Amino acid sequence: MNKPVPTAIDHLAALTGYRDRDLLDVTLAHALMDLLTPRGVAVYKLVGDEGDQRWLLRARLDSGQPTAVSDPPWVGFEALPPREELGHLDEGLRTQTVISVSAGDEEADEAVTTTVFPLVAEGDALGVVEVQSSEKLTAGMKRTVCSILRIYRNFHGLLDYSERDTLTGLLNRKTFDEAFLKTAHEGAASLSESGDDRRHGGVGPVKHWLGVVDIDHFKQVNDRFGHLIGDEVLLLVARILRSTFRFQDRLYRFGGEEFVVLLRCSDEADAAHAFERLRSNMEAYVFPQAGHVTASIGFTQVLPTDAPSGAFERADRAVYYAKQNGRNRVCGHEALVREGKLHLDDKVGDVELF
């Protein structure tokens, strides 16, 4: 009995069956490979700030390849190709049109056509899908791909709506546990793949760290200036978080004035430096109406055996210590324990922190 040929409907059902962004991009690559039978499919996303953007490979699938490959989750920003380096990808995204480029393949002694489909959502440039084929894609094939990508973009938007804080756009609390467990498991035996020398020298095992960021006296901001100004402060703090940390660090708003950061670096000193940079950036920023606003930050190492609640509680104890000892400071849980200022069985007290 012949195996049934997958249809576009089958792939759309698979595409919308996941709530994991990594699997979403991999499923998209498999769907286009089955429907078009090209030489290869790749999904690229743009990362970085305006003026310094780079291409992150989310999924690449070549003909005859059983599983897709991608850039490592914690790849260093400097290791990624700059936007302008891959000119055909840049042109497709910049013009927001489907473009095709033909070139010869010396090894296969045949022409190869590269077709680039832009990925744009709500006016924002997300990335591109690159399809390499031995023959030019027909108009019907291009329409099929564009239809699938519209559904992909719509579903991507639904994931954003369900996974991101509506005010700041950061990840929300309900997405934290799964990402944390992935991070904890990665940390057991991971070696550095990062080329980002801001935080890691490129040798030795790499550890993961959880930081809790709590705005100092935020209740006073709301009481004095009103909740609209309070919301503006939260938006600006989220912007400072994005500009301080790397694109692959995971940033969350847990509600109210509490933010959480999951990051990767080689040792405690590097983690402390990263969080100190955030504290300093906040202290130096002049918020409209509210003026200077500071934050108390506690952090801890993520252990392979950690449950999300356990690591969060350790970082929260460090935040509590920072609040009780002057605020506007960074405290590492492990350092506080070594210094005898905290004990492993200490609990956060009932004193009002905010």
Q: How far apart are alpha carbons 342 and 337 in whole angstroms?
A: 5
144 burial level (CB within 10 Å; 0-12, 13-18, 19+): middle
CB atoms < 10 A from the CB of 187, how many? 19
CB atoms < 10 A from the CB of 95, how many? 11
Question: Amino acid letter at 107?
Answer: E
257 is catalytic: yes
How large is the angle between the packed helices 218-225 and 227-244, nearest 10 degrees? 140
Question: Amino acid letter at 161?
Answer: Y
Quick one: which of 219, 211, 217, 212 has its CA closest to 326?
217
Tell me the DSSP string of 266-281.
SSHHHHHHHHHHHHHH
The active-site residue, picked from 257, 258, 283, 339, is: 257
DSSP 175: G
Q: Which residues are catalytic?
A: 257
